[in-house]
Amino acid sequence: MKYTDGEYALDKRELDRLINRREAFRKVCDGKKSIHLTLITSNGLCHNKYSGNIQSELTLADLFRE
């Protein structure tokens, strides 16, 4: 989960970290399952050249929707 006052801007370093974690998780789990990079943020994801690698995002509004 990420908290910022505004939209979360994903950079190359953070994206590389997420991809490395996904691959490490894949190695210890059944490789036949899909693993989706999902960000949970307070105010959403800032769409930039790195954000296209994120398959889904959830915001506080999504979590507390009635």
pLDDT in tens, 32-54: 788 999 999 888 899 999 999 99
Q: Is 3 inside any structural domain? A: no
Residues 19-34, mean pLDDT to the nearest whole number: 88
* Res 11 pLDDT > 90: yes
Q: Is residue 52 one of the residues assigned to a domain?
A: yes
Question: In total, how many domains does the chain have?
Answer: 1
The whole-number pLDDT of residue 2 equals 64
Q: Please give the Cα distance from 43 to 59 (Å, whole number).
A: 6
Cβ–Cβ < 8 Å for 11, 54 = no
Range of the domain at 23: 8-63
Mean pLDDT (whole number) for 2-30: 90
Tell me, yes or no, whether 42 lies in a domain.
yes
Q: Please report the DSSP string for 8-27 in residue order.
A: EE--HHHHHHHHHHHHHHHH
Give the Cα separation of 18 and 13 in Å (integer): 9
